[in-house]
Amino acid sequence: MSKVYIGLGSNKGDRIGFLHHAIAELESDIGITILTLSSIYETRPYGVEDQPNYLNAVILIETDYTPIEVYHKVKTIEKIVGRTKSERWGEREIDLDIILYDSIIYKDDMIEIPHKEYYKRDFVLVPLHEIGNDLIDPITKQSISEIIENLNEKFILIKLENNLKEKVGGEIV
């Protein structure tokens, strides 16, 4: 079984609802076991700044799916949840990205693992560290906490009290 960290983001419409729906879809897949979820963080936009703030989180799953299969699963879930076409870094109902897949390094025309430029984004790194504080970046061999310490730009505004764990079934802690 592989451990996969998936980043979630939403800044359009019912942001919390979209995050909960995406997690419910992941949870309903018999090939995926949700191991843990981070807190939700409200963050200012990355890339295109003239848009609403995002809600971001990271989820850890366990699966036998290959990286390509996980990629197709998350893209299908984005469609099911209601993602519509948008400009690059534009507003979106839901965004699901594979951040880390075990400690592999992989790149093809569709995906790059670790996720491209995740190491520049505190809205990925902070929730990632929250649920995987012993993680090491497979490329740089730095710990996630070391990467966070060296960030130049911060996007996180607040950590929300609303907790994704409250809406997910099972015994996730």
The domains found in the chain, sorted by start residue, are 2-163 (3.30.70.560)
Q: Which of 29, 44, 95, 121 is catalytic?
A: 95
pLDDT at position 173 over 90: no
170: confidence class by pLDDT, cuts 50, 70, 90: very low
Distance CA 77, CA 4 (A): 16
pLDDT band of residue 89 (cuts 50, 70, 90) is low
Q: Is 10 a residue whose pLDDT tops 70?
A: yes
Q: Which residues of 143-163 are buried (b: 16+ CB within 10 A; e: fewer)?
A: ebeebbeeeeeebbeeeeeee
| Helix, strand or coil, per DSSP, at residue 97 | strand
Give the position of tokens 């592999």: 104
Told to judge if 95 belongs to the known catalytic residues of this protein, a careful annotator would answer yes
- Is the pLDDT at 131 greater than 70? The verdict is yes
Residue with tokens 């907790």: 163
Question: In the annotation, is 83 catalytic?
Answer: yes
- Proportion of the chain in helix, strand, coil states, percent, rounded to 5: 30, 25, 45
Angle CA(35)–CA(23)–CA(139) in degrees, nearest 5? 60
User: Catalytic pick from 14, 64, 97, 108?
Assistant: 97
Q: Is the pLDDT of residue 88 over 60?
A: yes
- In the DSSP assignment, the letter for residue 45 is -
Mean pLDDT across 129-155: 95
Say which of 83, 121, 122, 137 is annotated catalytic.
83
Cβ atoms of residues 53 and 157 within 8 Å: yes
Quick check: is 92 catalytic? yes
The confidence band for 121, taking pLDDT boundaries of 50, 70 and 90, is very high
Higher pLDDT residue, 15 or 83?
Answer: 15
**CA atoms of 19 and 77, how far apart (whole Å):** 11
Report whether 136 contacts 143 (CB < 8 A).
yes
Active-site hit among 50, 88, 92, 122: 92
Is the distance from CB of 96 to CB of 77 less than 8 angstroms?
Answer: yes
Q: Are 118 and 125 in contact (CB under 8 A)?
A: yes
Looking at residue 7, what DSSP letter applies? E
- Answer yes or no: is pLDDT of 86 > 60: yes
Tell me the pTM. 0.92
